[in-house]
Structure 1
Amino acid sequence: MDERIHKWLYDIKISIEEIDGFFENQNKDFIQYRNNIMLKRAIERNLEIIGEAVNRILKRDDSYEDKTSDVKAIIALRNQVIHGYDNISDENIWSILINHLPKLKSDIDDLIQ
């Protein structure tokens, strides 16, 4: 595996682990998330990192589009968080955390192996 791609896969893994760590000793609760601006910004930053890493991987080797779920949506989310920050929906980010991040984590773990 390309050394740079391997590094970016680990960047994604670390960002997902950081997000999971924010909820380590508590249940994931949407209301608490919505009311905690620092938590929201920290999660958004990690989602930016994930999207940028996926984008770099695809630019280096586009075969990864078939190896990871929803790569275009991941990059689109990164762009929305960065450029459309005033249109970010708490519900949308929460849905990604609950419904999509676990699958991405599994995909990345498989690729790193």
Structure 2
Amino acid sequence: MDERILKWLYDVKMAIDEIEGYFKKTNKDFHTYKENLMLKRAIERNLEIIGEALNRIIKYDASYADHITHAKSIVGLRNHIIHVYDNISDENIWSILINHLPKLKKEVNALIIKK
């Protein structure tokens, strides 16, 4: 595996780990998330990093889009957070955290191990 791709995969992994770390001392609960502006912005920033890293991976080697479920949608989320910042749905972000981030973590870890 190319060193650049491996570095970007580690960037994704670290951003996911950071998001998970935000909930180590508190319950992973939507109301807590929705009411905590600093937590929301920190999570959004990590989602931006994940999207940008996946964008770089796919541009460098398009075959990785086949190994990461919804890779292009994740890049689209990054673009939405950056460019449509005033219309971010707390419910959509929460759904991504609960339903999609665990799967992305497994896929990225598998790719890193496979290196």
Rounded to whole Å, the distance in 1 between the matches of 2:24 and 2:2 is 32
Partner of 2:85: 85
Matched residues in 2 for 1:99 and 1:88: separation? Answer: 17
Q: Which residue of 1 aligns with 2:104?
A: 104
Gapped regions of structure 2 (runs ≥ 5):
none
User: Partner of 1:54 in structure 2?
Assistant: 54
Q: Which amino acid aligns with 1:83?
A: H
Q: TM-score, structure 1 length as denominator?
A: 0.99
1:32 to partner: Cα distance:
0.5
How far the C-alpha of 1:27 sits from its partner, in A, is 2.0
Identity, in percent, stands at 67
**What CA distance in whole angstroms lies between the structure 2 residues aligned with 1:112 and 1:29?**
30
Superposition RMSD in Å:
0.5
Q: Partner letter of residue 22 of structure 2? A: F
| Worse-matched range after superposition: 24-33 or 93-102 | 24-33
CA distance in 2 between counterparts of 1:24 and 1:69 reads 26
Deviations 1:53-79 (A, max 9, x none): 000000000000101110011000000
Distance in structure 2 (CA, Å) of the matches to 1:71 and 1:6: 16
* Equivalences for residues 17-96 of structure 1 within 5 A: 17-96=17-96
The CA deviation at 1:84 is 0.4
Q: Deviations over 1:29-86 (max 9, x none)?
A: 1001000000000000000000000000000000001011100110000000000001
Structure 1: which amino acid aligns with 2:81?
V
Question: Could you say what secondary structure the match of 2:28 adopts?
Answer: coil
Which amino acid in 1 is paired with 2:78?
R
Moved beyond 6 Å, runs of 4+: none
Question: Within 1, Cα distance between the matches of 2:17 and 2:57?
Answer: 19
Q: What is the number of equivalent residue pairs in this alignment?
A: 113
